[in-house]
Structure 1
Amino acid sequence: METDKKVSPAMLRRVVIASVLGNALEWFDFAIFGLFAVIIARLFFPADSEFASMLLTLATFGVGFAVRPLGGVVLGLYGDRVGRKKALSLTILLMAVGTGLMGVLPTYAAIGIAAPILMVLARLIQGFSTGGEFSGATTMLIEFAPRRLRGLFGSFQMCSQALAFSCGALAAYLLTSRLTPESLDAWGWRIPFLFGIVIGPVGWVIRTHLDESPEFQAYARNRPRGARPGIRSSLADLFGNHPREILSSMGVCIVGTVSAYVFVFFMPIFAKKQMGLPIADVNLATFFATAVLLVCCPLSGYLSDRYGRRAVLLSGIVAYGIAAYVLFAHFVQAPSYESFLLAQVVIALCMSFFWGPTPIIMTEVFPVGLRSTGASITYNVAVLLFGGLAPLYNTWLVEATGSDMAPIYYVMVSVAFGLAGALALPAACVRPAGRIAAA
């Protein structure tokens, strides 16, 4: 269902800020958790071996993803029933609680077994809230955006991820290069997490002063008085009438989420622990790579408006698959700051060409009344199965196989899913936005 209701430039700017802010907070936290994983492992998950300690930390990183599908269904249905605005206001408060809790938790040395238990609880709160954050914020954003520029506006969500990664990597670089190891362990690593306590309430205030999405308002007006879709009927409609949309968009999400969790989260850990690169150099290279994502995602989103989603997706995924294999192998054979920087930057450039169109694809394939729920389920299931546990899978694969090349085969599997998903997208994702609007 489309609407021609005009949106003021001021409200559009406010929606962009509100939608991007919560998503940036979510990914900023994830970035710093990965970048400080070595310290968190030592302080919260002491074990008989360093490998076991790291596995416990990465499992805690992944446990939040176990509740993301639940959060996605609950918050997605809530957004489809009562509106995008109320759902987004709730998610950012939950997110701030989980992030802030991590920043103030006492360590294992102070409170014993309660420390890792509380860390897991904080991850569960974050996981539930982020289950509805990305899809809900993206839905709000594209429903306000001009029809012919929805790919561009949707890409702002991926810019927020890249910006969060860049800020996280820069914060980690500054802290690890300026503080002594003792100060870093004692209090330095907490600083980025405490940022969530500040940004959460600010985001809530901004979101509560938004208008409701024009498309959702039109949908709600046309709905029979007093009728709201029930959970059972909504899920039956979604899975019964839109299986192609679910599977194709999930394939696109799989290649995107694996690229993020392997090359933004796992690779810095791999470079530090397995290849022996200095932690400050690794963080600096990650900052440059995520800056490339930040700059290039809007370009790919705009290109998807002009030439169609599938054309941009396919070219990006193919280039990414080739670059990832060649440059990862080069880094493993000749580990150095230069080879790591080259791999991260070039792979990030290729990633941006399927990251940019992903948010609009996730949402425009579903009708308005199922959009938030459909996007939440496909996104969170893909992230749960293939993304959130990627650092854990790959750490274990390297240890179990004894091969430093093991992670790249995991990436190649995700590329196959991404290509299959892109090829199976409905016709609306093939035509440029101008032709869709005219159709």
Structure 2
Amino acid sequence: MDNSAAEATGVQSVDVALTRCIPQWKAIAAITVGNGLEFFDFTIYSFFATIIGKLYFPVEGQLEQLMLALSTFGVGFIMRPIGGVVLGAYADRAGRKAAMNLTLWLMTLGSAIIAFAPTYAAIGLAAPALIILARLIQGFAIGGEVGASTSLLIEYGSDRARGFYGSWQYVSQGLNTLCGSLLGVVLAASLTTLSLESWGWRVPFAIGMTMGPIGTYIRRHLHETLAGIQTDDHRTQALLTANHTEPAAHRVHPARTLFRHHAGAITAGVVTTIGGTAANYIVLFYLSTYAIRMLNMPMSLALWASWTAALMTVICSPFAGALSDRVGRKPVLGVSRVLLTLAIYPAFKLINVYPTVPVLLAVVAILAVLVAFTAVPNIVVLPELFPREIRATGMSIVYCLGVSIFGGFAQFFATWLIQLSGSPLAPAWYLIGCGLVSLLALPFVRETAGRPIG
């Protein structure tokens, strides 16, 4: 047996050992809890962006307040690439589990700052500064969380099941968006406007603070997949150590190794990510805000749009992952993204011609299905492009660069384009542009389904 075959066999043995160490559902839940917390917070922040804008950014005009609140939402994404490099490198040196626990506590800190931040009326400019600080901390944390957790997910899966395992990253996002949107709906429906603005909007962020200790507790039984990191399971430790062949320099300078030897994969991965992430943030989060501001729907009804999108994400993501294992990442990603790009303009046109809740929910449900089938294979293929020893850093850098601008500021860009053009259909053109650009890089992404990745 040659060295490459032996290495592939050894890596598969590690994956088999890991699947026997901890039940599948427990491993998936433990790995994805931190990324789920991010989407719980983001869901709540998006839903209450109008209130946060009013309390922390008291400028003239409701649209201007909303733009400032949404730009603060996007500020956190500026820190993602930095967090991706710093925490991704930490995950490739100290292990996935150590990095994920650190990011979880940083996310919890950000939630606490938002939950207890005094308003502009109480402390002036320090109030929006605290919100921005919290978003920067959370952005830095999630920059490392996504890379470490997605890498660990696919490393727990076999060659024929990595797509299914990786899909649970999006399932966790959908589940927490469901919880966040449902909580938002309950608060909006049960509290008066005065109560909602004075204290009700803070409740979800206070709940988010509990995820630090809860997440750390349920992650205690996870085992490492990185060679040279001590794990309690002796068999897995022996397999990891035996199959560790990567030079030590990769551990010391993973980012340098990535840009020197994997620049093509980084570029193709970033461009491919643009289309999926822009659609994800617009469909899952912005359409509720859009319904409130542009379609004049009450908040208690408009929030069901994000709930519907999240539900479809939860249902469809495992099927999208399994399908990508069966027929390949690129066919599933490419076909669904073309369909999504073709559907965007008619979708926005329809909800503006018929601005009713049933039409909105039907449109959102269809778009969410297409988003799931294009986003899942996208996020799965990214860590598969890199060797195990630098995988978390590579995944973090690629994902965060793609998401930082086109995903994090998607809601801001959409609102700005509406204001600039005066057309309520402007967000559709933004998504069409992102979708077309992202398809240009797909031929340069190698197919990874069913193949050993090391």
**Same structural fold, with TM-score higher than 0.5 when normalized by the shorter chain:** yes
Change in Cα spacing, 1:297 to 1:87, as seen in structure 2 (3 Å) is same
Structure 1, residues 190-216: CA drift from partner, whole Å, max 9, x if none? 111111111111112233432111667
Change (3 A) 1:224 1:378: closer
Residue of structure 1 in register with 2:248 after alignment: 227
The one-letter amino acid of 1:133's match is: E
Map 1:351-370 onto structure 2 (within 5 A): 351-370=371-390
Among candidates 12, 37, 53, match of residue 41 of structure 1:
53
Kept in 1: contact 2:45–2:73 (CA 8 A): yes
Question: What are the ranges of 5 or more consecutive residues in structure 1 without an aligned counterpart?
Answer: none
Q: Aligned to 1:116, which of 116, 123, 128?
A: 128
SS in 2 for 1:77: helix
The CA RMSD over aligned residues, in Å, is 2.1
C-alpha distance in structure 2 between counterparts of 1:325 and 1:225, whole Å:
48
SS at the partner of 1:147? Answer: coil
Which position in structure 2 is the counterpart of 1:206?
Answer: 218
Cα distance in structure 1, aligned partners of 2:163 and 2:149: 14
Separation of aligned partners in 1, 2:453 and 2:433: 37
The one of 321, 326, 332 equivalent to 1:312 is: 332
Does the aligned pair in 1 maintain the 2:43–2:285 contact within 8 Å?
A: yes
Amino acid at match of 1:96: T
Aligned to 2:412: 392
Mapped partners of 2:183, 2:453: distance in 1: 46
Q: % of aligned pairs identical? A: 37
Alignment of 1:25-424 (within 5 A): 25-213=37-225, 227=248, 229=250, 233-424=253-444
Mean Cα deviation higher: 336-345 or 401-410: 336-345
Aligned residues: 433
* CA distance 1:225–1:290, change in 2 (3 Å): closer
Q: Deviations over 1:159-209 (max 9, x none)?
A: 111112211111111111111111111111111111111111111223343
One-letter amino acid of the structure 1 residue matched with residue 385 of structure 2 = V
Cα distance in 2 for residues equivalent to 1:424 and 1:328: 31
Instruction: Please give the TM-score of this superposition, normalised by the length of structure 2.
Output: 0.90
In the TM superposition, what is the alpha-carbon distance from 1:322 to its structure 2 partner?
1.7
Structure 1 residue 14: deviation in Å?
Answer: 3.3
Going from structure 1 to structure 2, the CA distance change for 1:309 and 1:41 (only over 3 Å counts) comes to same
- Distance in 2 separating the partners of 1:84 and 1:414: 31
In the TM superposition, what whole-angstrom CA distance separates every residue of 1:217-246 from its partner, at most 9, and x where no partner exists?
666655579935365x43332122222321
Q: Shift in Å at residue 358 of structure 1?
A: 2.3
Q: Deviations over 1:130-185 (max 9, x none)?
A: 11111110101111112211100000001111112211111111111111111111
Structure 1 residue 325 displacement after superposition: 1.8
The 1:188/1:364 distance shift into structure 2, 3 A limit, reads: same
Asked whether the equivalents of residues 89 and 208 of structure 1 are also in contact (C-alpha less than 8 Å), the reply is no
